[in-house]
Structure 1
Amino acid sequence: MNPPLEPGAPALAAVLAYHERTKHRFERYAAGPETLDWSAQPEPFRWYEGAPQVRLPLAAAGPATPYAALSRPGGVPPRPFSLENLALLLELSLGLSAWKEYGPDRWALRCNPSSGNLHPTEGYVLCRGVADLADGVYHYLSRDHVLEQRAACDPASVVESRVFVALSSIHWREAWKYGERAFRYCQLDTGHAIGALRYAAAALGWRVGIVAGLGSAGLAALLGLDRRGDFLGVEEEEPELLLELLADAAPSAAAPDFVLPPEAWRGQANRLDPHPMYHWPVIDEVAEASRTPEAVPETPGSTAVAYPSLPGLDPTPVAALIRQRRSAQHFDRKQTMSAAAFYRLLDGLLPRADTAPFDTWNAAPRLHPVLFVHRVAGLEPGLYALPRRAGIETDLRAACKPDFEWTRPAGCPGHLPLFRLVAGDCAKIGRAINCHQAIGADSSFALGMLAEFEASLAEAPWAYRRLYWEAGLLGQALYLEAEALGVRGTGIGCYFDDVFHQLLGLEGPAFQSLYHFTVGFPLVDTRILTLPPYAGRDPTPGG
């Protein structure tokens, strides 16, 4: 066991204080705006005025890679790096999936989910040696499916194809609605975007690796986010992480060695909100405290557990599942999920080191779902736990209530580490804990993700972000697995943190819940119209 946290270091103290301050409680919610004017919602898209644009091709439907193939290591031959294939990756990960209309209101949906559909996450491409695309740094504008060239670099003397995707966050997009808790949601959205990129890359036969050893300041310089003159009077972006796309080669330990003079940069960032009504200084404080310093080595944790796989799913193309993914707003309480579907979905959360999406995660799993099972055929309603790391079950048992059962449900696959804690109807408490929202009780099951909070932050303050990234990655797996099974999921950011902890008997910071989620049979509001994501653009055949 790690020793108790010593909150003497200013950065660690700031992270701990932020987390405690932004908990929702029965007696009060975390600080947020007193009112919202939806007609004054911030601009949902960032662009760079004056930056040259590269119009990306659209795919008509492809690729035809079946979702089941993603669970077979090496089951999808890698495509070459080219503008067409890179466009397909961006379309299926950060691009639009539809436009929605209801009365006079119109809004976009994207392939990567976001808290409140506010989308604080921005994507950048850094590339060398990609066919039909000049070497340089690009911003992806999802609204138009174009790359904006932020900076051009001289072609490399040795042509070696290398492609990176970087993610950043604009905190104000979430803070506008959610106030101080927004930093949490920005980090969850980063995790979802990692998962969205991993699934899209897998459909193309590519892998995705997190680039180690690059700090926040170095990434900001690489993306031009530290160029104050390009962000005068507008909302700044917070660098998150850099990912490398891998076709055949092993992951490189080095970030791209682009050397870009000031005159190479183009574009002025647009302003998202000309009249912000609030400011939340604590978000700036936790962002600074949780930034990664330069040249910090990554120590990968082992996730190479030889889990057997459950039977494959239907041959639905992964691209179709990605495009149809939605967050359910209401659930049908009259329908019951089969036990086979339930176990298949949980199987998709196990940290296999050789299949998407968790082969991207280069650290030991630190998130462990606790489930409120409501309507699963043959499974007694109650509270269940799914420890995702070998050895953590002992710590969880010691931390939770001593009278919990910790029994294996009959019929559960032998390799699935699922335990029943207590049997009984938990619909009322599931609803209450999730900010009294019906989706916490009307679904087939809901869950909260317990993080190894104390042990993780004892390693470094910036682990705070990464815990949320892992939670978002789990959430993305839940979304896609649910779609493949004919049901639907919804991420829940509003829940009463310590009430959930008390239900489990948890005390202190050893374990903290970072994200809640629910899965069931959706009720669809047919009054809302669904329109194509890129009307007027001609897609390319195939894909």
Structure 2
Amino acid sequence: MSTASESVIQYHNRTKHQLNAYAKGPESLDWDDQPNPFRRFGGCETVKLPLPGADLSHSFADLDKPERIDPRPLNPANLGLLLELSFGLSAWKQFGPDRWPLRCNPSSGNLHPTEAYLLCTDPDLLPAGVYHYVSHDHHLERRSRFTADTAAKEVYIGLSSVHWREAWKYGERAFRYCQHDIGHALAGLSYAAAGLGWSIELLSETSDTDIAAWLGLDRSDDFVATEHETPDVFCRLHAMPGIEEDLSTLHLPGLSQSAEWFGKAERLSGRHFYRWPIIDEVSAHAVKPATAAERPTLPSLALPQPSQNLPASTIIRQRRSAQHFNGKSPDLPLADFHRMLAALLPNAKPPFSAWNWSAQINIVLFVHRVDGLEPGLYLLPRSADAASELKAVCSTDYVWQTVEAPFEFYRLTAGNVRQAAKTLSCHQPIASDSAFSLGMLARFADNVEAEAWRYRRLFWESGLLGQILYLEAEAAGVRGTGIGCFFDDAVHGVLGLKDNGWQSLYHFTIGEPLEDNRLQTFPAYAHLS
């Protein structure tokens, strides 16, 4: 009988892409049965939010020092702006008769498995209860009403995943991508809150069981069986810094037990032609129990000014996933490159202010065209001992040459690595035509063997780093895109890794995008006005 940790590692190994075979997925896509990207609950009261589209008055660089941003009042308009900039629509695209939405939070395949909920105990803002955010309509659906009283006036935000949305396209590997997207969304929430002068506290000690009960996700009769949601993270919103608050969540179980619930989730797909039971199995093995609270002290780092220091709301709304890169564009300025990498280091700014664990992921870079930097393979360690640990297990052919930079940075080998980057990323030119691409190398076996649920946490961290790169690319006047398709063990082989001690969990690439002029772009919320 396998332990939970062993089962999770077996899932991970089973869902690796190999040079001669891809992880199990659908043999064809049933486009007529693509899951609805917008979850709605029938039978719920809807609460309209003020029209979206308001701007933040601060620049993207101002988010480097969030303590200097005066907090806005917590009211429906600003709450709506927080939700819009975190999870809302950013544009619509159209090609021929096909039209699809883009969102501020990135998602694998633009499938958006992440759902966002509010739990409000502040009657001055909303009647006490649980609310589901519908990004298409920019409104809230009231899922519950609390009948018990509480003296605490607080707002919580919970995130969950609909695994089916990703599994429809990606099959067994989809569980990984859902976890990436939780990291993307958590980082997006942290950035948006900072722009309002607020902050997000990740209540990382909370168990999945409690989150499910508080948000109504354990009400199985309210969901289509194959389209249920699994709880992921739960956060407290701090909108008034310096004011004493009740920081206990002990009142929440009593509130959820007293709640009157409304509505049922509408079906997302009709047929569910393919089924992927291994996703439910690994999800069950990776359930998070209640854990000890962790609130690490983060260093303050001075980041250079971004070259395109636009308003933060502009950067957030213009974020896109590049589909193609200009392989002949000028070299990326070294200052922009340094800012992007420095932003990945743990520091006292969003989104790390909403992250409660020490860094477990380090960055391996395939540098193609960065001004003043020789092409080659590089390492950015994100924790104090990472370089020495990796040097002991990586290929002995690497030179580990220290590179002059505002942070610890190593060249492993010099030379043209474009073909290697392309091949390792499932033969995708986006990994070689960019200025640089990278892999996120996680301290794997130690974490998953200690606690199986940390498997999800490693992917959350990689998604968090991905959202940083998305926004930093925009602030540098270029564009990024996440790469979920890569040949796992081939990447490890290039690095000389021989076991599960370290695993690459997410790839990313940044460069000058090639725009497809055949696509039309339309405003995000014209349909509301």
TM-score under structure 2 length normalisation: 0.96
* Local SS of the residue matching 1:455: helix
Matched pairs, number: 524
With over 3 angstroms needed to count, the CA separation of the structure-2 counterparts of 1:396 and 1:305, relative to structure 1, is farther
Corresponding letter in the other structure for 2:408:
P
Which whole-Å CA distance do the structure 2 matches of 1:460 and 1:157 have between them? 34
Corresponding letter in the other structure for 1:173:
R
Paired residues for 1:252-401 under 5 Å: 252=247, 254=249, 257=252, 259-261=255-257, 264-293=260-289, 295-300=290-295, 302=296, 304-311=298-305, 313-335=307-329, 336-352=331-347, 354-401=348-395
CA deviations over 1:192-213 (Å, ceiling 9, x no partner):
0001101100100111111133
Paired residues for 1:170-319 under 5 Å: 170-233=162-225, 235-247=227-239, 248=241, 252=247, 254=249, 257=252, 259-261=255-257, 264-293=260-289, 295-300=290-295, 302=296, 304-311=298-305, 313-319=307-313
Which whole-Å CA distance do the structure 2 matches of 1:187 and 1:255 have between them? 27
Which whole-Å CA distance do the structure 1 matches of 2:53 and 2:219 have between them? 38
Which whole-Å CA distance do the structure 1 matches of 2:397 and 2:449 have between them? 29
1:107 aligned partner:
100
With over 3 angstroms needed to count, the CA separation of the structure-2 counterparts of 1:131 and 1:30, relative to structure 1, is same
1:4 aligned partner:
none
Corresponding letter in the other structure for 1:244:
R
Matched, 1:529 2:524: no
Matched, 1:97 2:93: no
Identify which range, 241-250 or 90-99, moves more after superposition.
241-250
Matched, 1:422 2:418: no
Corresponding letter in the other structure for 1:69:
D
* Local SS of the residue matching 1:116: helix
Q: Of 155, 161, 182, which aligns to 1:169?
A: 161
Residue pair 2:95, 2:519 contacting (<8 A) in 1 also? yes
Q: Which runs of 5+ in 2 are unaligned?
A: none
Residue pair 1:213, 1:254 contacting (<8 A) in 2 also? no
Q: Of 33, 41, 56, which aligns to 1:63?
A: 56
Which whole-Å CA distance do the structure 2 matches of 1:11 and 1:485 have between them? 43
1:5 aligned partner:
none
CA deviations over 1:66-124 (Å, ceiling 9, x no partner):
11111114121112222111111000010111111110101111110000000000000
Matched, 1:476 2:476: no
CA deviations over 1:385-414 (Å, ceiling 9, x no partner):
00000111110110111221111224x22x
With over 3 angstroms needed to count, the CA separation of the structure-2 counterparts of 1:240 and 1:119, relative to structure 1, is same
Which whole-Å CA distance do the structure 2 matches of 1:152 and 1:461 have between them? 35
Residue pair 1:120, 1:186 contacting (<8 A) in 2 also? yes
With over 3 angstroms needed to count, the CA separation of the structure-2 counterparts of 1:50 and 1:520, relative to structure 1, is same
Identify which range, 262-271 or 431-440, moves more after superposition.
262-271
CA deviations over 1:188-238 (Å, ceiling 9, x no partner):
000000011011001001111111332111111111111122124551111
* Local SS of the residue matching 2:482: strand
Matched, 1:136 2:132: no
Residue pair 2:322, 2:480 contacting (<8 A) in 1 also? yes
2:69 aligned partner:
76
Identify which range, 63-72 or 429-438, moves more after superposition.
63-72
Residue pair 1:98, 1:533 contacting (<8 A) in 2 also? yes
With over 3 angstroms needed to count, the CA separation of the structure-2 counterparts of 1:256 and 1:209, relative to structure 1, is farther
Matched, 1:465 2:456: yes
Q: Which runs of 5+ in 1 are unaligned?
A: 1-7, 539-543
Which whole-Å CA distance do the structure 1 matches of 2:204 and 2:424 have between them? 37
Matched, 1:28 2:24: no
| CA displacement at 1:315 relative to structure 2 | 3.9
Corresponding letter in the other structure for 2:6:
A
| CA displacement at 1:175 relative to structure 2 | 0.4
Which whole-Å CA distance do the structure 1 matches of 2:326 and 2:308 have between them? 23
Which whole-Å CA distance do the structure 1 matches of 2:86 and 2:238 have between them? 16
Give the aligned CA root-mean-square deviation in angstroms. Answer: 1.7
* Local SS of the residue matching 1:240: strand
Corresponding letter in the other structure for 1:436:
H
Corresponding letter in the other structure for 2:261:
W
Which whole-Å CA distance do the structure 2 matches of 1:508 and 1:405 have between them? 22
Which whole-Å CA distance do the structure 2 matches of 1:286 and 1:233 have between them? 17
* Local SS of the residue matching 2:382: coil
With over 3 angstroms needed to count, the CA separation of the structure-2 counterparts of 1:361 and 1:390, relative to structure 1, is same
| CA displacement at 1:313 relative to structure 2 | 5.0
Residue pair 1:58, 1:91 contacting (<8 A) in 2 also? no
With over 3 angstroms needed to count, the CA separation of the structure-2 counterparts of 1:280 and 1:398, relative to structure 1, is same
CA deviations over 1:446-476 (Å, ceiling 9, x no partner):
0000001012123211000000000000000
Residue pair 1:96, 1:109 contacting (<8 A) in 2 also? yes
* Local SS of the residue matching 1:383: strand
Residue pair 2:34, 2:269 contacting (<8 A) in 1 also? yes
TM-score under structure 1 length normalisation: 0.93
Residue pair 2:222, 2:263 contacting (<8 A) in 1 also? yes
Corresponding letter in the other structure for 1:514:
L
* Local SS of the residue matching 2:143: strand
Residue pair 1:192, 1:476 contacting (<8 A) in 2 also? yes
Which whole-Å CA distance do the structure 2 matches of 1:60 and 1:500 have between them? 42
Identify which range, 439-448 or 30-39, moves more after superposition.
30-39
Which whole-Å CA distance do the structure 1 matches of 2:332 and 2:420 have between them? 20
With over 3 angstroms needed to count, the CA separation of the structure-2 counterparts of 1:213 and 1:398, relative to structure 1, is same
* Local SS of the residue matching 2:126: coil
Which whole-Å CA distance do the structure 2 matches of 1:145 and 1:84 have between them? 11
Identify which range, 423-432 or 70-79, moves more after superposition.
70-79
* Local SS of the residue matching 1:442: coil
With over 3 angstroms needed to count, the CA separation of the structure-2 counterparts of 1:61 and 1:315, relative to structure 1, is farther
Residue pair 2:89, 2:104 contacting (<8 A) in 1 also? yes
Matched, 1:431 2:426: no
| CA displacement at 1:417 relative to structure 2 | 1.6
| CA displacement at 1:344 relative to structure 2 | 1.1
Which whole-Å CA distance do the structure 2 matches of 1:65 and 1:155 have between them? 40
* Local SS of the residue matching 2:91: strand
* Local SS of the residue matching 2:362: strand
Which whole-Å CA distance do the structure 2 matches of 1:518 and 1:314 have between them? 19
Residue pair 1:316, 1:484 contacting (<8 A) in 2 also? yes
Identify which range, 227-236 or 88-97, moves more after superposition.
227-236
Residue pair 2:52, 2:138 contacting (<8 A) in 1 also? no
Identify which range, 502-511 or 228-237, moves more after superposition.
228-237
Residue pair 1:68, 1:314 contacting (<8 A) in 2 also? no
Residue pair 1:434, 1:440 contacting (<8 A) in 2 also? yes
| CA displacement at 1:156 relative to structure 2 | 4.0
CA deviations over 1:166-185 (Å, ceiling 9, x no partner):
00001110000000000000
* Local SS of the residue matching 2:432: helix
Corresponding letter in the other structure for 1:502:
G
Which whole-Å CA distance do the structure 1 matches of 2:123 and 2:413 have between them? 55
